[in-house]
Amino acid sequence: MPQLIIHGGAGKIRNEAEHRAGIEEALNCGWGALIKKGALEAVLSAVSCMEDNPVFNCGTGSSLNLDGEVEMDASVMLSDGSFGGVAALKHVQHPILVARKVMEETDHLLLAGEGALNFARKMDFPEHNPITEIRQKALEELKQSGNLPYLPKLSQALQNRTSPGEDKFGTVGAVARDDSGLIAVATSTGGIMGKLPGRVGDSCILGAGTYASRDGGVSCTGHGEAILRLLLAFRACERMHFKKAQEVLSELALWAKDQGCSCGLIGIDWRGNIAFAFNTESMSYGFTDGDSMVIF
């Protein structure tokens, strides 16, 4: 039986109704693709849908760096080991689809910055401006108030503080399993508001924010630097070989909190068990197996 689970970020979700509506729309897009075309198309469709929705911190509506620019990270991985990612990518509408092209059209795993943008243009991805007025306003509030989220070294150096509306992690992700048993994972983010130009988080790093194997697939959201240090998605998939997905993710969310990592995880194991867990105030997510749809 096919399964699909997606997340729209963890932390303090202020606009819950908009998140729920966005999750429902993305689930419907992903499920239609899952039934017709399989797990890979399902996660790409779901994440692309969220990249078009400015309520989520990915694609159009991504957070801005200190220079007021959008630099996006995204990756996709399959349980057969195929992987593609992009880092610090600018001026495209769907970074997750560029990540797919890296996986399918190159011998590389990860392209970054100008190289990733040049590749996107060669693959016929058009120019796109992902900056929104809401994100521009949030950046100005951040600069005026004096503190950068989860960046104490930068906060001290730059004397900036986080704006009240930027205390959540907006990374999005999807995990799907189709009738053939193939598991696909996709993760996309605009990163942390006010980050230094060139900063790369966990979402595009194999084993950190995204991982899939014969044991399962996991997408993470949360504080990217902490998730990177823990290689959280890889740890989760490894443990799914022996334990059911929900037990694994619940244990890891608690363990990560003890390590100082604020995060959320979604996943599906090789048995077809759907799971989710988070150690933040909340996380937006939803899942379906065709018989029912659950949205939080």
DSSP result, the chain: --EEEEEEEEE--S-HHHHHHHHHHHHHHHHHHHHHH-HHHHHHHHHHHHHT-TTSSSSTTPPP-TTS---EEEEEEETTS-EEEEEEE-S-S-HHHHHHHHHHH-S-SEEEHHHHHHHHHHTTPPP-----HHHHHHHHHHHHHB--TT-HHHHHHH--B--TT--EE--EEEEEE-TT--EEEEEEE---TTPPTT---STTSBTTTEEEETTEEEEEEE-HHHHHHHTHHHHHHHHTTTS-HHHHHHHHHHHHHHTT--EEEEEEETT--EEEEESSSEEEEEEE-SS-EEE-
Confidence check: pLDDT of 98 > 90 = yes
Q: Quick one: pLDDT at residue 67?
A: 94
- Rg (C-alpha) for the chain, rounded Å, is 17
How much of the chain, in percent, has pLDDT values that exceed 90?
Answer: 87
pLDDT in tens, 194-248: 999 999 999 999 999 999 999 999 999 999 999 999 999 999 999 999 999 999 9
d(CA 85, CA 78): 12
Q: Quick one: pLDDT at residue 152?
A: 61
Active site residues: 171
Decide if 235 contacts 251 (C-beta within 8 A). Answer: no
Q: Quick one: pLDDT at residue 127?
A: 98
Confidence check: pLDDT of 66 > 60 = yes
| Residue scoring higher pLDDT (143 or 59) | 59
**What angle do helix axes 16-37 and 39-51 make, rounded to 10 degrees?**
150
Decide if 78 contacts 182 (C-beta within 8 A). Answer: yes
Decide if 272 contacts 243 (C-beta within 8 A). Answer: no
CA nearest to 171, candidates 234, 108, 241, 218: 218
CA distances from 214 to 41, 140, 233, 247, 274 (A): 18, 45, 14, 18, 15
Tokens standing for residue 141: 């509030």
Confidence check: pLDDT of 282 > 90 = yes
Region 153-168: what's the mean pLDDT? 43
- Residue 12: which pLDDT band, with cuts at 50, 70 and 90? confident
CA nearest to 72, candidates 33, 18, 130: 130
Confidence check: pLDDT of 146 > 70 = no
Region 50-66: what's the mean pLDDT? 96
Range of the domain at 227: 3-295
Region 1-22: what's the mean pLDDT? 94
Whole-prediction pTM:
0.93
d(CA 49, CA 115): 25
Q: Number of structural domains, the chain?
A: 1
d(CA 234, CA 222): 15
The CATH number covering residue 153 comes to: 3.60.20.30
Tokens standing for residue 284: 């937006």
Confidence check: pLDDT of 65 > 60 = yes
CA distances from 18 to 21, 25, 130, 279, 284 (A): 5, 11, 19, 22, 10
| Amino acid present at 108 | H
Confidence check: pLDDT of 138 > 80 = yes
- Residue 143: which pLDDT band, with cuts at 50, 70 and 90? confident
CA 252 centroid distance within chain: 18
Q: Quick one: pLDDT at residue 162?
A: 37
d(CA 137, CA 268): 37
Confidence check: pLDDT of 160 > 60 = no
Region 133-138: what's the mean pLDDT? 94
